[in-house]
Amino acid sequence: MDIILIDGLAIDTTIGVYDWEKRIQQRLILDLELGWDIRPAAADDDLNQTLNYAAISERLIEFGNSHRLELIETFAERVATLLQEEFSIPWLRLTLHKPGAVPEARSVGVRIERGQRNALP
């Protein structure tokens, strides 16, 4: 399986468990590895046969702007489901950072994998 990469995607959203967090926007940073077979697109030089990383990035930014969640776990799970359902992505690894959450840490976050890695040749 090949991998389409989106690294360091900045998404501003309302996220957090505390009351003060529900009144502000905070930035999440997403790194995505999206499983795909890129050979048909490469053979035909055709965007329609691959994952359009620009369209996916735009959709995830829109998701963040239109949802208010508490846990980064929930955000990550919702994004993974969206990617699988709307873009038919068979396998993905999502790393989500909430950089400002713990001042003493460079970053905190979650990493999840969803789907079947060997679903494609």
Ligand X SMILES: Nc1nc2c(c(=O)[nH]1)N=C([C@H](O)[C@@H](O)CO)CN2
Catalytic residues, which ones? 98
29 vs 109: CA distance, rounded Å: 9
Residue 85 CB, shortest distance to ligand X, in Å, is: 23
38 Cα distance to chain centroid: 19
Residue 112 CB, shortest distance to ligand X, in Å, is: 12
Contact residues: ligand X, CB under 6 A? 16-18, 21, 71-73, 98, 101
User: Which residue, 7 or 73, has its beta carbon nearer to ligand X?
Assistant: 73
Residue 110 CB, shortest distance to ligand X, in Å, is: 7
User: Which residue, 18 or 104, has its beta carbon nearer to ligand X?
Assistant: 18
Burial class (CB in 10 A: 0-12, 13-18, 19+), 56: buried
